[in-house]
Amino acid sequence: MEYPQRNLALDLVRTTEAAALSSARWLGRGEKESGDKAAVEAMRLSFGAIDINGTVIIGEGEKDNAPMLFNGENLGTGSGPRVDVAVDPVEGTNLLAYGRPNAISVVGVSPAGTMLDPGPSYYMEKLAVSAAARNAVDLNAPVDTNLAHIAKALGKDIADLVVFVLDKPRHADLIQAIREAGARIQLHSDGDVAGSLMAIDPNSEVDVMMGTGGTPEGVLSACAIRAIGGEMLCRLNPQKDKEKKALAEAGTDLSRIFSVKDLVKSDDVFFAGTGISGGSFLSGVRYTGNGATTHSLVMRGKTGTIRYIDSHHNWNKLMRFSAVKYD
């Protein structure tokens, strides 16, 4: 038996709240870079107060592209546990820029050396389901077979299922196959981290996420999926010649199927996400004139604890000392 230990996710949620509060000012203003920059700067400042020795494994580029949180950047005070960090200050920058739902700010942390570094891979095929269906899926199986097995595991008919798919030209055949199988579809322009989270949340109307999305987003999603007990099967799926060439030069096996345990090799994982633009999953930032409210999700893998947090931020007090100017 152990005494209660520190839940790092409760520290991490302050970073996603800060990023959401700063970037939500740019909702629908058509300035993708400005919204992302605001989130990055707020998140970086907030990480400076957390006692970790963190290294960014999943970031947004290289150092010369600052102010992005770049791969290899050190985060935290430098004291405390050594950890791998996955960040996306605005997951769904286009969603934020054009005022569309489900833009979120997300962070995942696991012990140092346990998070997959995707290297030159940008895209992977993914299949994400909740814990109830984690043993029912096979990435090599036809779409209709997977949907039949998922439906059986969930105690549903195929016609009851809702499948999250990114609305991209590359998914034309997948969408047709899902329709022919008889399942329903939610098409989203962006945001496959949100899609993965919806698929594993038993309270969501989404039952499964299918299709090709970002490899870094896959690793970030795996932090939450590992914590909650769902499954995500993945296979690298390069979309451009440059990516294919880089993976070939690295000797990468494109036939390998990754499970969530390959992407994050520890149950001692933490995840936090805060809604920015609102939507069916997490409510967005709501400004009240003298403050704001945020809606967040935090998870701790070791205990399986999931918390939804509604926070009320008071500008009259916060702005007396905050280095981040939210108002």
Q: Is 192 labelled a binding residue? A: yes
Q: Where are the domains of the chain?
A: 8-113+268-319, 123-263
Sorted by sequence, the CB contacts under 8 Å of residue 57 that are 6+ apart come out as 71, 84, 85, 86, 115, 116, 117, 219
Q: Is 36 labelled a binding residue? A: yes
* Residue owning tokens 């970030």: 220
Q: Is 307 labelled a binding residue? A: no
Q: What CATH number labels 123-263?
A: 3.40.190.90
Q: Is 229 labelled a binding residue? A: no
Condensed to tens digits (0 to 9), the pLDDT of residues 204-250 reads 899 999 999 999 999 999 999 999 889 999 999 999 999 999 999 99
Q: Is 60 labelled a binding residue? A: yes
Mean pLDDT of the chain: 93
Q: Is 170 labelled a binding residue? A: yes
Query: How long is the chain?
Result: 327
Condensed to tens digits (0 to 9), the pLDDT of residues 131-183 reads 999 999 999 999 999 999 999 999 999 999 999 999 999 999 999 999 999 99
Condensed to tens digits (0 to 9), the pLDDT of residues 110-138 reads 999 999 999 999 999 999 999 999 999 99
Q: Is 91 labelled a binding residue? A: yes
**DSSP summary character for residue 124:** E
| Domain 8-113+268-319 and domain 123-263 have a common topology | no
**DSSP summary character for residue 44:** H
Q: Is 205 labelled a binding residue? A: no
Q: Is 217 labelled a binding residue? A: yes
pLDDT at 1: 65
> What is the third-level CATH fold of 8-113+268-319?
Fructose-1,6-Bisphosphatase; Chain A, domain 1 (3.30.540)
From residue 30, give the alpha-carbon distance in Å to each of 35, 36, 95, 176, 274: 9, 12, 10, 32, 21
Q: Is 191 labelled a binding residue? A: yes
Give yes or no for residue 255 having a pLDDT over 50.
yes
Q: What is the 3-state secondary structure (H, E, C) of the chain?
A: CCCCCCCCHHHHHHHHHHHHHHHHHHCCCCCHHHHHHHHHHHHHHHHCCCCCEEEEEECCCCHHHCCCCCCCCEECCCCCCEEEEEEEEEECHHHHHCCCCCCEEEEEEEECCCECCCCCCCEEEEEEECHHHCCCCCCCCCHHHHHHHHHHHHCCCHHHCEEEEECCHHHHHHHHHHHHHCCEEEEECCCHHHHHHHHHCCCCCCCEEEEEEEHHHHHHHHHHHHHHCCEEEEEECCCCHHHHHHHHHCCCCCCCCECHHHHECCCCCEEEEEECCCCCCCCCCEECCCEEEEEEEEEECCCCEEEEEEEEEEHHHHCCCCCCCCC
Averaged pLDDT for residues 11-24: 97
Give yes or no for residue 63 having a pLDDT over 80.
no
Q: Is 28 labelled a binding residue? A: no
Averaged pLDDT for residues 243-272: 95
